[in-house]
Structure 1
Amino acid sequence: MDIDGVLYVGDAPVAGARETLAFLEEREVPFRFVSNTTRRSRRSIAERLAGLGYRIPADLIVTSPVAAVARMRERGQRRCFLLTTGDVREDFEQEGIAVAEEDVDVVIVGDAGENFTYDRMNAAFRLLENGAELVALEKDRYWMGGDGLMLSAGPFVAGLEYAAGVRAEVMGKPSQAFFALALREMGVSPDGAAMIGDDIFTDVGGAQAAGLAGILVKTGKYREEVVRRSGVTPDLVIESLAALPEYL
């Protein structure tokens, strides 16, 4: 399951979502939360969900920063330039990855919000020109904030790709490796799992490309006209996560 737009929208929990999670737990249906949210560490995501009435342990949350840390450690990389906001750097530093401004192995871009300034983008561009690799924690186009649609990291990643003539490796959805990470934790195969999200491209399309069923909820960023133009056909469309038990 996605988190933002599925469990909550803005600062409000989705009605009936907590009951659906209880339903799954009672029937011992395994689940994980796979999120492209890059403004918070995995720990603070769990804390925020607790504030919304959800009791979700941090180890059930699979995030793209955690995947990026694993990627760097596998390749023996120890220094990164981090273009994000919030406390997400905690996920890197607690695993021994130095967040630096120069001599880095990787430029890592998430949803940086107001930190997407010309100076920060230009600093990232120069590091890429000097040989650093480009990693996108997510490449979503936009997300639903409390006061309307908000630009996500995707447009800024695309700008860096264009300027530096490189291609970003995407850590979060719709990366097949990212879905595979969550599946391994649950011990299930793609054909025995479904992804539930509000993004027709990264959630539904990405999941289907990885061999999972894709379920689209009409909460969060859902827009009928976007779905109609997407070329992606969900396996199921439901009003919200609250409706899921009807189909299990």
Structure 2
Amino acid sequence: MMHLPAQLKLFIFDIDGTLHVDGQEIAGARALIQTLRDQNYAIRFMTNTTTKSQAMLVEQLENVGIQVEQNEILSASEASRTYLHDEQINLGRKIKIWTVVSENIQADFSEFEQDQQHPDFVVIGDIGNGWNIDLLNQIFNCLNQGAKLIALHKNKFWQTQEGLKVDIGLFVAGLEYVSNQTALIMGKPTVAFFQQVLASADCSAHQAILIGDDIDSDVGGAQRLEIFAALVKTGKYRASYHAESKIQPDLVLESVAELAQYLPEK
């Protein structure tokens, strides 16, 4: 059996669909994380989830028995806040934004002025069943007036206990099409987001491994930086989608628990 590269120092985990689904642990996830901690590996949790604050993400992981520090979680909403903060400094003025996001993460953007009529940026996240044609038209009009479109991510779909559900990529792509804009994507699979994760652990790409259930956002994003990428057959994984993809994972696992078999001997 092959082993993972001996130089590995950092394990980067997607959360939803990789470690749990709707708050239910994927068998063996907790034990694997504890094994990695016992062997002194650095761990980061990288998520495009936009309906939960950092504190809520910590609580959700702890509810399935995975102990985590808040600074180990890097989210798309935090990446967006950092980007907007830097833009404000670069422009030398206060910027106005309209955050079309869950109430759970509105506080992440509290330093910015909100303006639903003439914003500099429209920030799109998951709002569940809140989407409707009037809202889309209002966003469209803001974009036509010069606002820039920021998407916390552009995922196509996500896994729930009831099955797959459409994600915000549907709305982002539609808004891009009608406004002739290309959205600024903040989360996976962007290079900047993966670079932020590596920097947080002071590791190079060749010292890291990414484990996730999304062949596009997780595996594809990691491989842009030549990060070793493992795809798990849980969560949103679908064999037919995998077979049609041009992206080739470095390792395919039945679930995250199987990763323990590939750890280098210490």
If the length of structure 2 is used for normalisation, what is the TM-score? 0.89
Q: Is the 8 A contact 1:42 1:91 kept in 2?
A: no
Hey, what's the Cα distance between the residues in 2 that align with 1:245 and 1:135? 38
The one-character-per-residue Cα deviations of 1:45-101 (angstroms, maximum 9, x if unpaired) are 1122222222212211100110111111111153321122240112112xx123432
Q: Which residue of 57, 60, 66 maps to 1:45?
A: 57
Matched residue type, 2:99: L
The alignment status of 1:73 with 2:90, answered yes or no, reads: no
Query: Which AA in structure 2 matches 1:44?
Result: M
Read off the aligned partner of 1:66 and give its amino acid letter: E
Match of 1:125 among 140, 149, 161: 140
Give the fraction of aligned pairs with identical amino acids, expressed as a percent. Answer: 37
2:74 corresponds to 1:91? no
Q: Compute the TM-score of the two structures, normalised by the length of structure 1.
A: 0.96
Deviation at 1:6, TM superposition (A): 0.7
Correspondence for 1:55: 67
Aligned equivalent of 2:23: 11
Aligned residues: 246
The equivalent residue for 1:229 is 244
In structure 1, how many angstroms separate the alpha carbons of the residues matched to 2:151 and 2:225? Answer: 19
- Of 174-183 and 35-44, the range deviating more from structure 2: 35-44
Partner of 1:173: 188
Deviations 1:105-142 (A, max 9, x none): 21111122211211221111111111111111011100
Partner of 1:156: 171
Cα distance in 2 for residues equivalent to 1:112 and 1:83: 7
Gaps of at least 5 residues in structure 2 are 1-12, 89-93
1:157-190 alpha-carbon deviations (Å, 9 max, x no partner) = 0000001110001100000000000000011111
Q: Is the 8 A contact 1:198 1:219 kept in 2?
A: yes
* Alpha-carbon distance in 2 for matches of 1:63, 1:78: 22
| Structure number with higher relative contact order (C-alpha < 8 Å, ≥ 6 residues apart) | 2
2:99 matched residue in structure 1: 82
Q: What SS class does the counterpart of residue 116 from structure 2 fall into? A: coil
RMSD (Å), alpha carbons: 1.2
Distance in 2 (CA, whole Å) between partners of 1:9 and 1:56 is 17
CA contact (8 A) 2:33 2:66 kept: no
Once the two structures are superposed, the pairs formed by residues 188-227 of structure 1 within 5 Å of their partners are: 188-227=203-242
Give the conservation status (yes or no) of the 8 Å contact 1:85–1:112: yes
Q: Per the alignment, in what secondary structure is the counterpart of residue 42 of structure 2?
A: coil
Q: What amino acid does structure 2 have at the position aligned with 1:90?
A: A
Check whether the contact 1:89–1:99 (CA below 8 A) recurs between aligned residues. no
> Bigger radius of gyration, 1 or 2?
2
Distance 1:196 1:99, change over 3 A: farther
Counterparts of 2:201 and 2:212 in 1: how far apart (Å)?
Answer: 18
Does residue 115 of structure 2 align to residue 100 of structure 1? yes
* Contact 1:69–1:97 (CA under 8 A) maintained in structure 2: no
CA–CA separation in structure 1 for the residues paired with 2:16 and 2:209: 17
- SS of 2:104's equivalent? coil
Q: Which of 92, 99, 114 does residue 129 from structure 2 map onto? A: 114
| Amino acid aligned to 1:43 | A
| Cα distance, 1:17–1:230 mapped onto 2, change above 3 Å | same
Which has the higher mean CA deviation after the structures are superposed, 201-210 or 75-84?
Answer: 75-84
